[in-house]
Structure 1
Amino acid sequence: MIVNLVPVTRDNWQACCALSLPAEQQDFVASNLYSIAEAQFYPTMQVRALINQSSTLVGLAVYGISPNTGQYRVARLMIDQAFQGQGYGRAAMQAILAEVAALGDVDQVWLSYREHNHAARNLYQSLGFQEQSCDPAGRIVAMYSLVAQD
């Protein structure tokens, strides 16, 4: 499974905003419209449309250097409800981690998720993210090390 990370542009932002989550996942991640708008104010954050091998839009990701902590973080990962459970979340995270590793100057990638988001927790743990703490909003904070383990 391959997911390509492409910039959100004038040509695809509305399609990105039309992606949706099932009702029970609505509180897991901010809307794509909010994510796209918010990222305009943080030049260190990248907003990427997630495109599959058939050139179909399957999700959205926001990642980069957090203006609050200075850490590299995945702020949002959203897979449209029609494409969930097909490996796109894993492929997207692998693509993000590969892109970050290629930068060469990042040792860790951080993210957070709601405790009751079991699919996210299972995905991130299976990729090697280690839970560290809870943030002030009660989300689990996890870290992925890009440094080779001996």
Structure 2
Amino acid sequence: MNITLTNVDKNNYEDVCDLSVAESQYDYVAENMWSLVESKFNPSYQTRAICLDEKPVDFSCGCLKQLREYQFGYLW
């Protein structure tokens, strides 16, 4: 079993978009497709596919911003 964080690119974005969350999470988490679109227009967003044996099984989108002298980030 090999778990990796992989850049989302033209080779795996469809698999990432096909991932879904439990129905109980719909009100809290955007569909992966929308997060990928947002990442293309917000340069501070970084997306990764969480892969198990090279197959995307989850998705991470993070934002790294700098506000004055402080740098902070968050994941969703």
TM-score (norm 1): 0.44
Contact kept in structure 2, 1:7 and 1:48, CA below 8 Å: yes
Which residue does the alignment assign to 1:60? 59
* Aligned counterparts of 1:31 and 1:12: Cα–Cα separation in 2: 16
Q: Which residue pairs with 1:14 in the alignment?
A: 14
Distance 1:14 1:67 in 2: 31
| TM-superposition CA deviations, 1:67-118 (whole Å, max 9, x none) | 77852221x2xxxxxxxxxxxxxxxxxxxxxxxxxxxxxxxxxxxxxxxxxx
Number of residue equivalences: 74
Q: After TM superposition, which residue ranges in structure 1, 4 or more long, deviate above 2 angstroms? A: 66-70
Identity of aligned residues (%): 27
Q: TM-score, normalised by structure 2?
A: 0.80
Unmatched 5+ stretches in structure 2? none
Distance 1:45 1:66 in 2: 9
Could you tell me which residue of structure 1 aligns to residue 35 of structure 2? Answer: 35
Aligned AA (1:10): K
- What code does the residue aligned with 2:39 have? A
Say which SS state the counterpart of residue 65 (structure 1) adopts.
strand
Partner secondary structure for residue 14 of structure 1: helix
> Which structure's relative contact order is higher, taking Cα pairs within 8 Å and 6+ residues apart?
2
Counterpart in the other structure of 2:25: 25
More strand by share: 2
Aligned to 1:28, what secondary structure does the other structure show? Answer: coil
How far, CA to CA, are the matches of 1:63 and 1:2 in structure 2?
22
Structure 1 residues 13 and 2: CA distance shift in structure 2, 3 A: same
Give distance in 1, aligned partners of 2:73 and 2:4.
20
Q: Structure 1 residues 60 and 67 mapped into 2: Cα distance closer, same or farther (>3 Å)?
A: farther
Bigger shift: 11-20 or 64-73? Answer: 64-73
Report the Cα offset of residue 55 of structure 1.
Answer: 2.0
Aligned-pair RMSD on alpha carbons? 2.2
